[in-house]
Structures are given as structure tokens and as C-alpha cells.
């Protein structure tokens, strides 16, 4: 097992990793930018190293500074959390070259899953259902027009280097193709330095359901059931829950098997997520594979009673998995509390938290780095807390969430709490019958 882990991240996920390390008897090193001097991850880690000025590119994304911090402190592994360098192939490679275990995917795995078109082909070859579309990249606008007739409009153009909603355009008919083609090409070239495009049939009003997986170094993989992430706004998830209200035991079995197939096809090591789109007939299609711990891992932990960060560390250290799958016995919901004003188009609201009181009680979990007097810097992600409730049924988890949201006091800044309070009362949300389109028509 590792002796000392450096956490190359900030905020709640840095705290989350430190907590598990403490329980495992592993020493911890925090890294921080000058904007994060007063952060809880700095206070709770055994050691802390300043890695640069506020700007992410000069601190939390600065590979040389993070590696130097690991060498100075003699850390034998690095946990990257989510975001920042968690899916950066170069960082994974540099860790390896410096004899530091990267608690995440190999450079090759990150590269192969990062190219969406080739990841899709790998999955299709492995027998994982994929959305009908082009065989790999499309060479020309003319080719795109021909293909779209075959696939049947509406279609979607996607940048192969994209993901998470960046670099894609829906095309409803041939007269929209040229401008969509030019737009995706230009955006992808500018944003990713790779303007490769592929095409898919556009799935109307899908659900976003992902399967948590784990794989060990000995070729074994298992699944840990699903999370429903359909409640998103502009590709930002706001609420996640498990089990999915849309799930059936039979569909879970099929999606779980497909996710394991995906993991085995690429020899996946560690914890990961296979994202699927699920259509109105409960057909499911591979969308993306995430090679990191996700923001929403918490709800899976609550319903299967399993520490996923601990599992991640154990797998990185070479421990085997049992090989059985895990099924939810409870219902969990997570609301992301962001420093944003839901009444002003979710505009960021950084600044000082003047008063802070956390909800508590049975079935309530909070993963947060906020406290009274904390100043939320304007440089990073606006998520300041994750409020999770767990109960026997969905109805009870919602009731608990409403109670916990009402108890949550955060003064001095605007937060997404009023949004969640309204959502928990919404009939469509309560019915469980919603898709990824749900929040597009939302008004506070
Ligand atoms: C799609 C789609 C419909 N049809 N692909 C959005 C993020 C990226 N991972 C892929 N995305 C989508 N791909 C086809 N062929 C609809 C989306 C999509 C979406 C997917 C999951 C969650 C929320 C979404 C919101 C808008 C669009």
C-alpha cells in the first residue's frame, strides 16, 4: 500500500480523498494555489505545498510544479480527483516516468477514450451497443450530406476530440448541414487542435444513465449499477440519483453487462464510468467512458455501502476485485450546491460566506469545503457543496432532501439551493418521468 498520497486537486474532492487516506493510514500532501491558502484541504492534509498563483494553468494544471511538490514531500502516489489533470494523458505519463503511481488511467487508456470516434469503434467491435452513424471520421461536407440521407435526419455532428457537450451540432435537414459542418470544424480546431468530425443519428430526448465500473490489474471487472444524470443544464449536472427511476432489473442487467464488456475490451484498471444514452424504448447506446472518479460517485457509495475512493486506491496498489457486481438496496439523491444565482441564469456568485449552517440527521451526507468566513475565489468551479440524502425509497429520499435543503443556511452569496427546493416540488421531477431536455424549458 502507498505510504503518502499527494492530492492534485482542491475543494470538496481534495477533502474527500484526504478523509479516505486518513482512514487507511496513508499520509497526505495537499497542493494549493495562493488563492486557496485558507482552504480546508490545506488544513486537513498532513503537509501542504503551494504550487503557484490563482490561475489554474499556473497551479492546479501546472504539471512540473505538482511533480516537484510530490518529489519534495516524497509522495509515492498522486490522486488527481476530477477535472484539472484527472484525464490528462501527459500528466499520467509524467507521473509514471517519475516513479509516482498515478491513481487513474494509463496514458494510453486516456488517449484512446479521449478520441470519441475511435473509442466508439473500439466499443462497437467489443459488442457494446453504439448509436448508428458514420464509420469513423467524415472526410468532406459532401460525404456528410450523403451519410445523413442514409442515417436519416435529424443527425448530430460531433468533434472526435470533444465530449461533455463541447463541439457538437444537431442537423435537422440538408440545408442546415453546411453551416453546422463549418461550425463544428472551426470550433473543434480552435478548442482542441483536432478538427476530426463523426456523425450519429440524433436521439431525441434521451436519458443519461451511466454505469459505475471497477477493474483490477488481473483482467477482472465488475459493475456497481447505475446513476441517472438526466437533470442537467447546459451539460452541467445539477442532480444525480440512483437507482434511476427509469431502470428495470432486466435493463440494469443488460447495461451492466455492456459496461463490463466495455471495461474488459480495453483492459480497464481502476474505477471508471461508462456513459449511455437511453432512448424512449429503453434501447441504450455507449456514449463516453470516463477514466476518473466522478462528482456523483457519492450516491453509489450510499446505496451500495462502499467507499469508491478506497477502492480506487486499493486497485491502484494492485489489489484484486472480488468479481461480483453490486446492486442498490437504497435510494440516494445528490443536489449540487453551486455559488450561482439561479434567478440570474445561474450567474457565478463568488465571495464571502458570512454565515453557514449544515443540515444533518439520519440519511443526510454533505461533501463540502465551505465554512463560515470562507471566501469563494472567482477562479475555479462554482460547486461548493454536494448534499446527498439516502433512504429506503425515492419518495423518502426526496422528502429528506427537502428537509435538508430547508435546514441549509449559506449567507453572503447566492446558491442553487432555491433551484433545488423548486425542483423537489416539481411534479415532473417527482414522477421520475423526465429526460435530458427537462431543464431546457426550466424557469425559476
Ligand atoms: C447525443 C445526443 C443525442 N443523440 N448523441 C451531450 C454530451 C455528450 N456526451 C453527448 N451528448 C449528447 N449526444 C446523439 N446521437 C444528445 C446529447 C445530449 C445530452 C446527453 C447527455 C446528457 C445531456 C445531454 C444534453 C444535450 C444533448
Distance (Å) from CA 202 to ligand 1 centroid? 8
Q: Within this chain, do residues 74 and 183 fall inside the same structural domain, yes or no?
A: no
164-216 pLDDT per residue, tens: 788 999 999 999 999 999 999 999 999 999 999 999 999 999 999 999 999 99
The number of distinct structural domains making up the chain is: 3
Q: Within this chain, do residues 191 and 254 fall inside the same structural domain, yes or no?
A: no
Q: Whose CA is nearest to atom 11 of ligand 1?
A: 165
Q: Whose CA is nearest to atom 10 of ligand 1?
A: 165
Catalytically active residues, by annotation: 292
Q: Within this chain, do residues 331 and 416 fall inside the same structural domain, yes or no?
A: yes
120 part of a folded domain: no
Domain range for 300: 207-441
**Pocket of ligand 1 contains residue 134 by CB under 6 Å:** no
Q: Which atom of ligand 1 is nearest to the CA of 287?
A: 9
Q: Within this chain, do residues 360 and 423 fall inside the same structural domain, yes or no?
A: yes
The pLDDT, as a whole number, for residue 110 is 95
**Pocket of ligand 1 contains residue 203 by CB under 6 Å:** yes
Q: Within this chain, do residues 269 and 317 fall inside the same structural domain, yes or no?
A: yes
220-248 pLDDT per residue, tens: 999 999 999 999 999 999 999 999 999 99
Reply yes or no on whether the pLDDT at 369 is more than 80.
Answer: yes
62-109 pLDDT per residue, tens: 999 999 999 999 999 999 999 999 999 999 999 999 999 999 999 999
- Buried/exposed code over 1-25 (b: 16+ C-beta within 10 A; e: otherwise): ebebbbbbbbbbbbbbbbbbbeebe
4-18 pLDDT per residue, tens: 999 999 999 999 999
Q: Which atom of ligand 1 is nearest to the CA of 204?
A: 3
Query: How far apart are the two ends of the chain, measured CA to CA in Å?
Result: 49
Q: Within this chain, do residues 238 and 367 fall inside the same structural domain, yes or no?
A: yes
The pLDDT, as a whole number, for residue 8 is 98
Q: Which atom of ligand 1 is nearest to the CA of 230?
A: 22
Q: Report the CATH number at residue 144.
A: 3.30.1490.20
Q: Within this chain, do residues 189 and 212 fall inside the same structural domain, yes or no?
A: no
Mean model confidence pLDDT for the chain: 97
* Average pLDDT of the residues in 416-423: 98
**Pocket of ligand 1 contains residue 232 by CB under 6 Å:** yes
d(C-alpha 339, C-alpha 261), whole Å: 39
Q: Which residues pair with 338 in a beta bridge?
A: 383
The pLDDT, as a whole number, for residue 385 is 98
The pLDDT, as a whole number, for residue 49 is 98
370-408 pLDDT per residue, tens: 999 999 999 999 999 999 999 999 999 999 999 999 999
Distance (Å) from CA 336 to ligand 1 centroid? 20
264 part of a folded domain: yes
How is residue 203 written as a grid cell? 436521439
Q: Within this chain, do residues 187 and 215 fall inside the same structural domain, yes or no?
A: no
The pLDDT, as a whole number, for residue 163 is 79
Q: Within this chain, do residues 176 and 213 fall inside the same structural domain, yes or no?
A: no
Q: Report the CATH number at residue 248.
A: 3.30.470.20
* Locus of grid cell 491558502: 37
How is residue 316 written as a grid cell? 491502484
% of the chain with per-residue pLDDT over 70: 100
Q: Whose CA is nearest to atom 16 of ligand 1?
A: 203
% of the chain with per-residue pLDDT over 90: 98
**Pocket of ligand 1 contains residue 133 by CB under 6 Å:** no
19-38 pLDDT per residue, tens: 999 999 999 999 999 999 99
The pLDDT, as a whole number, for residue 164 is 76
Conformation bin of residue 167: beta by default, left when phi > 0, alpha when psi is -120 to 50: left
- Is the Cβ–Cβ distance between 277 and 205 less than 8 Å? no
Distance (Å) from CA 165 to ligand 1 centroid? 7
Q: Which atom of ligand 1 is nearest to the CA of 436?
A: 23
**Pocket of ligand 1 contains residue 210 by CB under 6 Å:** no
Q: Report the CATH number at residue 54.
A: 3.40.50.20
Distance (Å) from CA 210 to ligand 1 centroid? 13
Q: Within this chain, do residues 62 and 190 fall inside the same structural domain, yes or no?
A: no
**Pocket of ligand 1 contains residue 288 by CB under 6 Å:** yes
The pLDDT, as a whole number, for residue 166 is 84
**Pocket of ligand 1 contains residue 237 by CB under 6 Å:** no
Distance (Å) from CA 163 to ligand 1 centroid? 9
Q: Whose CA is nearest to atom 24 of ligand 1?
A: 436
Q: Whose CA is nearest to atom 23 of ligand 1?
A: 436
d(C-alpha 153, C-alpha 211), whole Å: 29
Question: Of 172, 201, 230, which residue constitutes the final position of a domain?
Answer: 201
* Average pLDDT of the residues in 338-357: 98
Residue 218's Cβ-count burial label (10 Å; 0-12, 13-18, 19+) is exposed
d(C-alpha 369, C-alpha 13), whole Å: 9
The pLDDT, as a whole number, for residue 322 is 87
Amino acid at each position: 500500500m502507498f505510504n503518502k498520497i499527494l492530492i492534485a486537486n482542491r475543494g470538496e474532492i481534495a477533502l474527500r480523498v484526504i478523509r479516505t487516506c486518513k482512514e487507511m493510514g496513508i499520509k497526505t500532501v495537499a497542493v494549493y494555489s495562493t488563492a486557496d491558502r485558507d482552504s480546508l484541504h490545506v488544513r486537513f492534509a498532513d503537509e501542504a505545498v503551494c504550487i503557484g498563483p490563482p490561475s489554474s494553468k499556473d497551479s492546479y494544471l501546472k504539471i512540473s510544479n505538482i511533480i516537484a511538490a510530490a518529489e519534495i514531500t516524497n509522495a509515492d502516489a498522486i490522486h488527481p480527483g476530477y477535472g484539472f489533470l484527472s484525464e490528462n494523458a501527459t500528466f499520467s505519463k509524467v507521473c509514471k516516468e517519475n516513479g509516482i503511481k498515478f491513481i487513474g488511467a494509463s496514458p494510453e487508456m486516456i488517449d484512446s477514450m479521449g478520441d470519441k470516434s475511435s473509442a466508439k469503434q473500439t466499443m462497437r467491435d467489443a459488442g457494446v451497443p453504439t448509436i448508428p452513424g458514420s464509420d469513423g471520421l467524415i472526410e468532406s461536407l459532401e460525404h456528410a450530406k450523403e451519410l445523413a440521407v442514409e442515417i436519416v435526419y435529424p443527425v448530430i455532428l460531433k468533434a472526435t476530440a470533444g465530449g461533455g457537450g463541447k463541439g457538437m451540432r444537431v442537423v435537422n435537414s440538408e440545408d442546415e448541414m453546411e453551416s453546422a459542418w463549418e461550425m463544428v470544424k472551426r470550433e473543434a480546431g480552435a478548442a482542441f487542435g483536432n478538427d476530426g468530425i463523426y456523425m450519429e443519428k440524433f436521439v431525441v430526448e434521451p436519458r443519461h444513465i451511466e454505469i459505475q465500473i471497477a477493474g483490477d490489474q488481473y483482467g477482472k471487472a465488475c459493475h456497481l449499477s447505475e446513476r441517472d444524470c438526466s437533470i442537467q443544464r447546459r451539460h452541467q449536472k445539477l442532480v444525480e440519483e440512483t437507482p434511476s427511476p427509469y431502470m428495470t432489473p432486466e435493463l440494469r442487467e443488460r447495461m451492466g453487462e455492456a459496461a463490463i464488456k466495455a471495461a474488459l475490451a480495453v483492459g480497464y484498471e481502476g474505477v471508471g464510468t461508462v456513459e449511455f444514452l437511453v432512448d424512449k424504448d429503453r434501447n441504450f447506446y455507449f456514449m463516453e467512458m470516463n477514466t476518473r472518479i466522478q462528482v456523483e460517485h457519492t450516491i453509489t457509495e450510499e446505496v451500495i455501502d462502499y467507499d469508491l475512493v478506497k477502492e480506487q486506491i486499493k486497485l491502484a496498489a494492485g489489489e484484486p476485485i472480488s468479481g461480483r457486481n453490486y446492486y442498490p438496496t437504497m435510494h440516494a439523491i445528490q443536489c449540487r450546491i453551486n455559488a450561482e444565482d439561479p434567478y440570474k441564469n445561474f450567474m457565478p456568485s463568488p465571495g464571502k460566506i458570512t454565515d453557514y449552517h449544515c443540515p444533518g440527521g439520519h440519511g443526510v451526507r454533505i461533501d463540502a469545503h465551505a465554512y463560515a468566513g470562507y471566501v469563494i475565489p472567482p477562479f475555479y468551479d462554482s460547486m461548493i457543496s454536494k448534499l446527498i440524502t439516502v433512504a429506503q425509497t425515492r419518495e423518502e429520499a426526496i422528502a429528506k432532501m427537502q428537509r435538508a435543503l430547508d435546514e441549509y443556511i449559506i449567507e453572503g452569496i447566492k446558491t442553487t439551493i432555491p433551484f433545488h427546493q423548486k425542483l423537489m416540488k416539481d411534479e415532473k421531477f417527482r414522477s421520475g418521468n423526465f429526460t435530458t431536455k427537462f431543464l431546457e424549458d426550466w424557469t425559476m
